[in-house]
A and B are shown apart, each in its own frame.
Chain A
């Protein structure tokens, strides 16, 4: 491994192609942590946005007018405003309104850090799209299926949980896939509020080493791989979830 790293040091000396995150252990740690933060942020947001989507789609089908209106308002508000402004709004406007807590060093620190706000804001942003996606999937489930479940004495929640959702899930997977890819790409916005994710760490490295070109190309490739892994995984999942004769 050391030999491999040293090769890049030599590469830098011989050709000027500077990749410090490979031969310098400090930069290697930075980029590795940035990579982990990006993945962790993506996973947290994926999880919560899907949950928001499922709950939102269920509320949207409720028989109360007010519930449907609130969910629709939420969707339209989050879909039609820039995610970056939402992030700033959450982090700066709402974040400063919350009470401060004492941290380990006896100082005052905000209740939620930048990572938490990024996770919350991006989850709500992607969740708004997920609600629409799940709704379209639920509408795609034939009415007769739901009626059959009703006739068998399933309750409303049971129908949603055991009948509609599993079927709808298979319908929406391609659209969901698309949205989740978008979400992973949107995590770069967390850079703006100094969450130490991949773009932020890469920025730190190119500020220190003045190797913008190399870091840029690395970044593009890194996100290409990250998104590729996600798409590959989702496609596999899609295939394994397939019900013969359905969809």
Chain B
């Protein structure tokens, strides 16, 4: 039997559970972005002018921009490799028992972590020579190489912190157990501590990579011809038509989004997978 009442206690129980956390799927964003580009295009195409529509212009330039974007990716991968290699050493330096070593590594890490990426890029761009001569052998330093060096500085500092954080996050019992089994410090580090750290370091490391990828456009400010520089040149080659600005910059945004979003999603998945359940 049913009661005719509005007392809350008599109401049928409605489960008050929040729905699973929803995110926009990747394919949701692509049509939206396309709609933005196509929409503006149609609006301008309706002008009936003899000029090419913005979308057609964009299509003309797309191969060049894509090539520029691949250059960005090359810069990001190289800077990441270099930064990780040096940063791992620096991170190990930070946890060294030697006071001078750990203090020095700490200072270098903090210094490069607290400096803006752009300033570090300027630093590398202007203060490195354009060529280096060793024993009469002239090694040229092209600007993209200097950009890689400049971007790897902050990466190095961040990787150093990731390594230190991962080692510090391991329970101290691991160290003590290894010590009681008569492992030397080096053996403990290489055979016991670091293998466990790799799992913990992977998500923040991937996060850092995606930040670095997004930072590669900074190289355009210092004149490396990557996707942003090429976009600017393409725009001026088209005579600086204002209606082209939104589709072109939108296209660059889309390129980065399509590349970085899967990385971000995968990072979140890894984080969940590796999460330490207390």
Q: Do A and B come from one complex?
A: yes
Q: Which A residues fall within an 8 A CB radius of B?
A: 61, 65, 68-69, 72-73, 76-77, 79-86, 88-89, 92-94, 96-97, 181, 185-189, 191-192, 199, 203, 212-213, 216, 219-220, 223-224, 227-228
Do B24 and A69 touch (CB < 8 A)? Answer: yes
Contacts A/B (CB < 8 Å), 15 sampled = A72-B23, A72-B24, A73-B24, A73-B28, A76-B24, A77-B257, A80-B260, A81-B253, A88-B249, A94-B246, A212-B126, A216-B123, A216-B126, A216-B127, A223-B114
Query: Is the Cβ of B127 less than 8 Å from the Cβ of A212?
Result: yes
Given contacts A72-B23, A79-B264, A85-B217, contact A220 B115 (CB under 8 A): yes
| 9 smallest beta-carbon distances between A and B, as pairs | A82-B214, A93-B246, A185-B116, A80-B260, A89-B249, A188-B116, A188-B118, A93-B245, A73-B24
A sample of 5 more A-B contacts (CB under 8 A), given A81-B253, A85-B217, A224-B114, is A80-B210, A81-B260, A82-B213, A88-B249, A223-B119
Contacting pair B246 A89 (CB below 8 A): yes
B192 at the interface (CB under 8 A from A): no
Q: Say yes or no for B117: interface residue by CB 8 A criterion.
A: yes
CB distance from B146 to the nearest CB of A (A): 13
CA distance A219 to B28 in the complex (A): 42
Q: Which residue of B lies closest to A65 (CB)?
A: B22
Does B252 lie at the interface of the complex (its beta carbon under 8 Å from any beta carbon of A)?
A: yes
Report the minimum CB–CB distance from A145 to chain B (whole Å): 15
Residues of A within 8 A of B140 (CB): none
A92 to B24, CA, bound (A): 27
A68 with B249, Cβ < 8 A, contacts A96-B242, A186-B116, A220-B115 known: no
A126 to chain B, nearest CB (A): 13
Which residues on A sit within 8 Å (CB–CB) of B252?
Answer: 85
Q: Flag whether B11 is at the interface (Cβ < 8 A).
A: no
Task: Determine the chain A residues whose CB is within 8 A of the CB of B250 once the complex forms.
Answer: 89, 93
Bound CA span A175–B122, Å: 28
Chain B hits for A72, CB < 8 A: 22-24
Q: Which residues of A contact B23 (CB under 8 A)?
A: 72, 76
B contacts, CB < 8 Å to A: 18-19, 22-24, 28-29, 32, 111, 114-120, 122-123, 126-127, 210, 213-218, 220-221, 228, 242, 245-246, 249-250, 252-253, 256-257, 260-261, 264
A184 CA to B24 CA, complexed, in Å: 29
Contact present for A220 and B123 (CB under 8 Å)? yes
State A90–B228 Cα separation when bound (angstroms): 15
Given that A94-B246, A212-B126 are contacting pairs, would A199 and B119 also be in contact in the complex, using a CB cutoff of 8 Å? yes
Say whether A73 contacts B123, CB under 8 Å.
no
Q: How far is the CB of A183 from chain B (nearest CB, A)?
A: 11
B119 touches A219 (CB 8 A): yes
B116, A192: Cβ atoms closer than 8 Å: no
- Cβ contact within 8 Å between B116 and A223: yes
**C-alpha spacing A25/B261, complex, angstroms:** 49
- Taking a contact as CB atoms under 8 Å apart, the answer to whether A80 and B122 are in contact is no
Is B115 a contact partner of A82 (Cβ separation < 8 A)? no
Q: Which of A76, A83, A216 lies in contact with B214, CB distance below 8 A?
A: A83
What is the CA–CA distance of A85 and B228 in the complex, to the nearest angstrom? 8
Give the distance in Å from the alpha carbon of A83 to the alpha carbon of B261 in the complex: 15
Name the CB-closest residue of B to A84.
B217
B257–A80 touching, CB < 8 Å: yes
Evaluate contact between A77 and B122: CB separation under 8 angstroms.
no
A192 and B221 within 8 A (CB): yes
Contacts of B216 in A (CB 8 A): 82
If the complex has contacts A89-B246, A93-B250, A213-B127, are A81 and B115 also in contact, measured as CB distance less than 8 A? no
**Chain B: minimal CB distance from A18 (Å):** 15
Please report the C-alpha to C-alpha distance between residue A134 and residue B236 in the assembled complex, in whole angstroms: 42
Query: Given the complex of chains A and B, what is the CA–CA distance between A181 and B117 in angstroms?
Result: 12
Partner of B245, one of A82, A83, A96: A96
Q: A82-B215, A213-B127 are in contact. Are A228 and B114 (CB under 8 A)?
A: yes
* A50 CA to B84 CA, complexed, in Å: 32
Whole-angstrom CA separation of A8 from B58 in the bound complex: 53
- Option from A181, A187, A224 in Cβ contact (under 8 Å) with B111: A224
Query: Measured between alpha carbons, how far is A85 from B256 in the docked complex, in Å?
Result: 9
Cβ of A85 and Cβ of B253 under 8 Å apart?
A: yes
Across the two chains, which residue of chain A brings its CB closest to B235? A92
